[in-house]
Amino acid sequence: MPDGCDAANPRPAIVVGHGFSGVKEVLQFHGQYFADAGYVTLTIDYRTFGRSDGEPRARLFPEWQVEDYKNAITYLQRRADVMTDQIGIWGTSYGGGIVIQTAAYDRRVKCVVAQVPIMNSRKWMRSLRTGVQWEDLLDRIDEDRERRANGEDSARIDVVSHGSEGEFSAMPSDDDVELVTNWMSSVETHRLDIAMESMEKIIEFNASDAIHLIAPRPLLIVTAGGYDVIHPIDQIYEGYAKAHEPKKMIAYNHDQFGFYEEPGTSAGLKDAVDWFAEWIPTDGSRRAPKKPPWLQEAHDRRGKLT
């Protein structure tokens, strides 16, 4: 909560979500940053992750995570200390793709910031693998469907592995990615595996197919332009090209985890705050004017009829 915010002095709000298999504790600094900038900030665990309910654990279904953002918006709109028509969303990495999809279909989102977003999950999953590894993944998805049809639980799959060593995982990658994921496991609620059935749902998810629907609400993408095996910048540029105005993209010349250590973390968050401040300023100066009495009466009458 920002200082001085209450029912008499409501503020705009931001929903903050993490990336692939992350938990909200990893984003405490981010949530506090937005709150210090004057925004009511809600950092969430997606269902089956962290402190949220749901079984089996770590079932990474992207469409469910979009729904979790929508539910978070609904919660914020029910708070007296929130400007209910001034809500933005922020997500990083896989969460960047989730917020793009959410904003495309939920017009309550007035402003969106996606940091190093995953745009096209199928293309992304394929780009992380050799041809043999890709076919192996598709075979295992088929096998897991048969497993579940026989009444067994979905298999478990490690989140990351050394791609060069041919280990099977959700994200074959490099040493840096594995080190960061292992570091996140120091958070009590984080785990290093997900349900195998997640992989089929991930491959089917494509935020870049919906990105053009966000306009005329504003979109900012903040990304890294250096060495990055996890967030391919060519896929980000390809998705960004499909978006309509108002939009903006800021590319930093640092590597894949530049936004997860200083000074990159604060730089990316400052860009986000500047964007939110332009489109959903904390003083409410961009709020839509009140409806004229005759239109409000018609709106109320329609509500009673429904």
Instruction: Specify the pLDDT at position 166.
Output: 64
β-sheet bridge partners, residue 91: 17, 114
Please state the separation of Cα 85 from the chain's center in Å: 20
How confident is the model over 74-97, as pLDDT tens digits? 999 999 999 999 999 999 999 999
Q: Where are the domains of the chain?
A: 11-120+206-285
CA–CA dist 63, 100 (Å, integer): 12
C-alpha distance from residue 2 to each of 12, 108, 280 (Å): 10, 22, 15
CA–CA dist 102, 167 (Å, integer): 33
Cβ contact 149:143 at 8 Å: no
- Mark out the alpha helices in the chain (DSSP H runs): 28-36, 62-77, 94-105, 121-127, 131-149, 175-184, 198-203, 233-242, 264-279, 293-305
Residue 183 pLDDT greater than 80, yes or no: no
- pTM, entire model: 0.92
Least confident of 83-92, 94-103, 142-151, 155-164: 155-164
Structure tokens at 159: 């989140």
Q: Which residue has the higher pLDDT, 261 or 295?
A: 261
What is the identity of the amino acid at 127? S
CA–CA dist 272, 145 (Å, integer): 40
Enumerate residues 6+ apart whose C-beta is below 8 A from 231. Answer: 93, 116, 117, 118, 223, 224, 256
Q: What is the mean pLDDT of residues 288-293?
A: 76
Q: In the block, which residue shows the tokens 């969106």?
A: 112
Least confident of 117-121, 123-127, 190-194: 190-194
CA–CA dist 61, 48 (Å, integer): 10
Q: What is the CATH number of domain 11-120+206-285?
A: 3.40.50.1820
Pick from 267, 272, 279, 266: nearest CA to 220:
272
